[in-house]
Amino acid sequence: MKRRYGYITALCALVAAGAALAQTDDAPVKVAAPAGPPLPGAQTYTDNCQSCHGATLAGGRGPSLFADGLLSSHSDDALRQIIKTGIPNSEMPSFANQLNGDEISQVIAYLRIRGGQLRANPPFVPDPSGQIIHSQKQTFRIDVIASGLQTPWGGAFLPDGRMLVTERTGPLRIIDHGKLLPEPVKGTPKVFVRQDGGMLDVAVHKGWIYLSYTEVEPGVTPAPGSDVAPVTAPPTMTVLVRGHIRDNQWVDSHELFRAPSSLYTTTSDHYGSRFLFDGKGHLFFSLGERHNMVNAQSLATPLGKIHRVNEDGSIPKDNPFVGLPDAVASIWSLGHRNPEGLAFDPVTGNLWESEHGPTGGDEINVIDKGHNYGWGLASMGLEPGIFKQNMPNTDPPIASYSPTIAPSGIAFNVGDRYPGWKNNLFVAALAGQQLLRLEIKGRKIVAQETLFNQYGRVRDVISGPDGMLYVLLQSPTGGGTGTLLSAATEGMVIRLQPMP
């Protein structure tokens, strides 16, 4: 059992240098990161374009290529064409002989990422209570359901209307019809809290409460102080359990998923994880690749995968890799980086997924049984060691986001509460600090809109039993706030109240 994971560890070391550079959802700001090689597109830009176009929004002899006006009015193909052929009778030269297709794609990705960084975010509005938003197809008011939460991560409703909310810092909280109970649920699993790690998703299904969280390898005592020094991080992993709450106490805890000790690793990011039930007896859940892209392509590890198990954790016989020697039998799809959103389309039944990609490569995918989504081989974003945007036999994303938005929880709007948003997909975004609305037709996104981007980090969106959308928010972290991107901050649950 142990042996077959050996090569993964070896490859892990190979990509470690590159991995440190990638910008992730919750990775700390770059303060502690060693200076590595610049991202591929950045280097191409500095070497070939900066002398004329400058390094800022001000431009130079040529116009700034980071301006929103230029980037939003030109498709990637249009930019590619200009770069290849140049602009006749101007100083803009042709790069057809200097840059190959991949280098041109990378420089375009860099323009979009850097452009987004250079354009300012709207100022943060700490109290959204009562704000009315006139969006394209639906006006709504923001009702604050409960505040005073620490980094709320996942939420689910109990049959009696109370809402369970996880705080990444560890506690499982109960919101009783608009009132956050002061006392967290007692006796929940002990979690490892750092960077992306902590108490993660919660789901309620057929009387059971499902929890996912990160833990330190059993039997390992973390060194004192290790919680503040990533270099001494203990080996950790995502664990899934289900249980009940009785007299405000976590009871009947049953383990649904625990990886072998050999897979516990000392990175503290990309744990996943999101739960989704298909109503046919199966539980889907996601696991990140723990910041080692090699994991995403190996069927011998559950990391970097979407999984499908029976509701009690056992393996369905019709899973795609059942019976394949050395394959983890719960795997449903592979090639994922850090998937944190799962939802079924109420119209087609398609399984939609959101995933934190590398810088500029965040993804929205439709997940098919046994398919490979490419992480580790190809990405629309920038990552040292990845040179292709597409590879044969891997599924390209339905949408990718550049600059990075860091998509987290996703949910379809079901029912009639919001007449303008029928069957739309909603995407919570952390670094992008926005709630996105996507109109879906089959497997295509036919329109998109940012509903708001001034209330901080958006962690999850939940379609409630009352047909209303509930959203988990967290005060901004990282760049400009004086905190690490992964810092725990105050958060709240809001409801989008439809208005005529």
Name the residues that contact ligand HEC, by CB under 6 A. Answer: 48-49, 51-53, 61-63, 65, 70, 79, 82-83, 87, 90-93, 95, 107
Write the DSSP string, 82-125.
HHHH--TTSS----TTT--HHHHHHHHHHHHHHHHHHSPPPPP-
Residue 380: left (phi > 0), alpha (psi -120 to 50), or beta? alpha
Is 82 or 300 the residue whose CB approaches ligand HEC more closely?
82
Name the minimum Å distance from CB 363 to ligand HEC.
24
Q: Give the strand pairing for 362-367 and 399-401.
A: antiparallel
Name the minimum Å distance from CB 77 to ligand HEC.
12
**What's the DSSP call for residue 281?**
S
Question: Which of 280, 267, 273, 344 lies closest to 309, judged by CA?
Answer: 280
- Do the beta carbons of residue 214 and residue 169 sit within 8 Å? no
CA 45 to chain centroid: 28
Is 93 or 346 the residue whose CB approaches ligand HEC more closely?
93
Name the minimum Å distance from CB 231 to ligand HEC.
38
Q: How many residues does the chain have?
A: 500
Q: Give the strand pairing for 249-257 and 275-277.
A: unpaired
Burial (CB < 10 A; 0-12, 13-18, 19+), residue 400, is buried
- Residue 140 forms beta bridges with which residues? 133, 498
**What's the CA gap between 162 and 335, in Å, rounded?**
37
Whether 270 is catalytic: yes
Is 92 or 351 the residue whose CB approaches ligand HEC more closely?
92
Is 88 or 219 the residue whose CB approaches ligand HEC more closely?
88
Question: Which of 426, 437, 337 lies closest to 381, judged by CA?
Answer: 337
Is 93 or 313 the residue whose CB approaches ligand HEC more closely?
93
Is 92 or 411 the residue whose CB approaches ligand HEC more closely?
92
- Do the beta carbons of residue 203 and residue 163 sit within 8 Å? no
Is 74 or 388 the residue whose CB approaches ligand HEC more closely?
74
Name the minimum Å distance from CB 457 to ligand HEC.
32
Name the minimum Å distance from CB 36 to ligand HEC.
22
Helix/strand/coil for 213 = strand
Residue 466: left (phi > 0), alpha (psi -120 to 50), or beta? alpha
- Residue 332 forms beta bridges with which residues? none
Is 63 or 222 the residue whose CB approaches ligand HEC more closely?
63
Ramachandran angles phi, psi of 149, nearest 5°: -90, 155
How many beta carbons lie within 10 A of that of residue 197, not counting itself?
25
HSE of 71, CA atoms in CB hemisphere, 13 A:
20
How many beta carbons lie within 10 A of that of residue 119, not counting itself?
13
**What's the CA gap between 256 and 195, in Å, rounded?**
24
Is 32 or 87 the residue whose CB approaches ligand HEC more closely?
87
Question: Under 8 Å CB-to-CB from 251, ≥6 apart: which residues?
Answer: 187, 243, 244, 245
Catalytic choice (53, 74, 177, 270):
270
- Do the beta carbons of residue 276 and residue 284 sit within 8 Å? yes
Is 29 or 71 the residue whose CB approaches ligand HEC more closely?
71
Name the minimum Å distance from CB 85 to ligand HEC.
11
Name the minimum Å distance from CB 448 to ligand HEC.
24
**What's the CA gap between 21 and 270, in Å, rounded?**
14
Angle at the Cα of 211 from the Cα atoms of 431 and 496, rounded to 5 degrees: 50
Name the minimum Å distance from CB 361 to ligand HEC.
19
- Residue 427 forms beta bridges with which residues? 410, 436
Would you name the residues annotated as active-site residues? 270
